[in-house]
A and B are shown apart, each in its own frame.
Chain A
């Protein structure tokens, strides 16, 4: 087990190194002079040149690359072109709302998805299964921003139950969380159903029924416990994907998170900020994948790593 953790941690670090290298070189492929972008078109060539020098842009690319890593290792992600404040500060402020949104979205997805999936498996080949699976298919297909706009149209503008945008009270969470989480509840419902269907065909379920246990006990104690293993791992993996989805939902609901910051930064050509956001979200992604990998062993004692 210890060996496995070390090996996986090492692999994660390698991937992170690869991601940051890729991002570094991609961002340096962006046409145009960052110093010029920062100072605007009316700046004199002398000012641009002195800024280039102070930013180290005249150094060889490899030197810049190593300096970038040195800085990242010390937690220095550079300064925003737009605000000239440290990128790290801005991200620290914005990461909270995004994490809240992501976890709330996944929580909702798990609650709805697991219940729907279990329902579909328990009532296999009945109209209940058909309806649940059809709704799940729709859930996978409706874009999160379309769903969000429809919710806004009906619940915020027509019924006036919810605020249209912003962040603060629990009401602000309702529409963004549903828009973000609905897709994943559909995915989780499909996985839960197929996992449960497989498990309900196992011998030990037949034994449990044969010894006279009630259907409820068979379902919850015997089937669900085992059926949830793939669901939990996949939910973990999708939590990482969901982080990417916040970009659109945050823009729609003016949610003060990282995703919206990423879009704003691209439109403003704020490259240090873009670089840092992608690095932060990808790190979250790699970290979650690492934890999911470890969780296999805890959830299913039959899995051995060596």
Chain B
């Protein structure tokens, strides 16, 4: 059944590389803190800003902490941030989009005009506005980014609902007297999930990036949290002495976003119904 999709995925070798890296990322997020040689806050005496060596693969930071361990600990934070921000966005977008698309009329007008307004504030600025209300911090950044990327989901969901609700099976369910809630959950929702999943994959990458960016400017995770963006912010002060302080957290972040983007791209190629034939 999925042969066509599998063949499409298989055609590009880079997809395997990206999938492998994402798998490694998830593994590290789950088990990393147990595997890391040091805890995220352990200060090794007498080794402040030492360059990469066999004892400290990524070197140490300004407080003598092992950077390799901190990058590993940071993986869990990054994955949780990216996924939960996207989950918030997808959930809110689904609720709004389903209501707007299914019920139409006034609901549609109100929700979509609200969405238009949100879309006319640049995403990161919208997140910053929300942080202004909630205050800086890791959890607030997740909420802010979630709300910030909600309008994209609302749009996609509404568009898909409009198409699905004209289908015969929905008309049939309605003719059988099923209530709206059941129709939405049983018939509409499963049929709009394709585009939502594709968008979610691509938005995870954007969420990871934006969360790190906000931590980088000091609005997100605060030291000593081993979050990659916050680590890069600390690294700025020691750029002259310690290139590894910038390169390893930065590289981890870039590779993460890159592999999620590659996967999202091929997922879109595979799942987008317009490219099926």
B23 at interface (Cβ–Cβ under 8 A)?
no
**Closest CB in chain B relative to A165 CB, distance in Å:** 10
Interface residues of A in 141-171 (CB under 8 A from B): 141-146, 149-150, 152-153, 157, 164
Contact stretch, chosen from B2-10, B168-176, B247-255, B269-277: B247-255
The CA of A127 and the CA of B162, in the complex, are separated in Å by 42
CA distance A164 to B118 in the complex (A): 35
In the complex, A107 has a CB within 8 A of chain B? no
Please give me the residue from chain A that is nearest to B125 by CB atom: A244
Q: Does B39 contact A (CB under 8 A)?
A: no
A281→B239 CA distance, assembly (Å): 32
Q: Which of A261-306 contact B (CB under 8 A)?
A: 262-263, 266-267, 271, 274, 278, 281-282, 285-286, 289
8 Å CB contact of B218 from A164, A267, A271:
A267
Contacting chain A: which of B55-63, B131-139, B186-194? B131-139
Q: How far is the CB of B197 from chain A (nearest CB, A)?
A: 20
List the A side residues contacting B48 at CB < 8 Å: none
- Contact at B133–A29, with CB atoms within 8 Å? yes
A301 to B274 alpha-carbon distance, docked (Å) = 28
Q: Mark A8-49, 1 if CB is under 8 A from B, else 0.
A: 000000011011001100110111000000000000000000
Task: Kindly list chain B residues whose C-beta atoms are within 8 Å of the C-beta of A263.
Answer: 128, 217-219
* B254 with A146: CB separation less than 8 A: yes
A27: B residues at CB distance < 8 A: 129, 132-133
Q: How far is the CB of B31 from chain A (nearest CB, A)?
A: 25
Interface centre among B118, B132, B229, B257 (most CB of A within 10 A): B132
Q: Are B120 and A150 in contact (CB under 8 A)?
A: no
Contact call A285/B258, Cβ cutoff below 8 A:
no
Cα(A252)–Cα(B116), bound, Å: 31
Question: Is B125 touching A26 in the complex (CB atoms < 8 A)?
Answer: no
User: How many whole Å from A102's CB to the nearest CB in chain B?
Assistant: 11
A230 at the interface (CB under 8 A from B): no
- Known interface pairs A137-B258, A150-B247, A153-B243. Does A145 touch B121 (Cβ–Cβ under 8 Å)? no
Cβ of B124 within 8 Å of any chain A Cβ, yes or no, is yes
Contact flag A149-B232 (CB < 8 Å), given A19-B117, A19-B120: yes
Contact present for A22 and B117 (CB under 8 Å): yes
B120 lies within 8 A of A289 (CB): yes
**Binary A-proximity of B216-227 (CB < 8 A = 1, otherwise 0):** 111100000000
Give the contact-size bracket for chain A: 35 or more
Contacts of B51 in A (CB 8 A): none
Query: How far in angstroms is the closest Cβ of chain A from B260?
Result: 8
Listed residue (B113, B120, B130) with the most chain A CB atoms within 10 angstroms of its CB: B120
Which residues of the partner chain B approach A16 to less than 8 Å between Cβ atoms? Answer: 120
Q: List the A residue with the shortest CB-CB distance to B114.
A: A18
Residue A86 at the chain B interface, CB threshold 8 Å: no
> Is there contact, CB below 8 Å, between A146 and B125?
no
Residues of chain B within 8 A (CB-CB) of A262 are: 125, 128
Asked if A195 is an interface residue, CB under 8 A from chain B, the answer is no
Q: Which of B121, B123, B132 contacts A30 (CB 8 A)?
A: B132
Q: Are B216 and A145 in contact (CB under 8 A)?
A: yes
A282-B120 in contact (CB<8A): yes
- B116, B216, B262, most chain A CB atoms within 10 A: B216
A98 to chain B, nearest CB (A): 12
Given contacts A137-B261, A149-B235, A150-B250, contact A278 B121 (CB under 8 A): yes
Closest to B218 in A: A267
8 Å CB interface, A119-153 against B:
134, 137-138, 140-146, 149-150, 152-153
Are B239 and A286 within 8 A (Cβ)?
A: no
| Cβ contact within 8 Å between B258 and A247 | no
Of the candidates B113, B132, B212, the one whose C-beta lies within 8 Å of that of A266 is B132
Given contacts A153-B247, A281-B122, 5 further A-B contacts (CB under 8 A): A15-B116, A141-B257, A144-B213, A247-B213, A262-B128
- 21 residue pairs of the A-B complex, CB under 8 angstroms, read A22-B118, A26-B129, A26-B130, A30-B132, A30-B133, A138-B258, A143-B212, A143-B250, A143-B253, A143-B254, A149-B235, A149-B236, A150-B247, A152-B239, A164-B239, A241-B122, A245-B124, A247-B125, A263-B128, A282-B122, A286-B120
Interface residues of chain A, those whose CB is within 8 Å of chain B, are: 15-16, 18-19, 22-23, 26-27, 29-31, 134, 137-138, 140-146, 149-150, 152-153, 157, 164, 240-241, 243-245, 247-248, 251-252, 262-263, 266-267, 271, 274, 278, 281-282, 285-286, 289
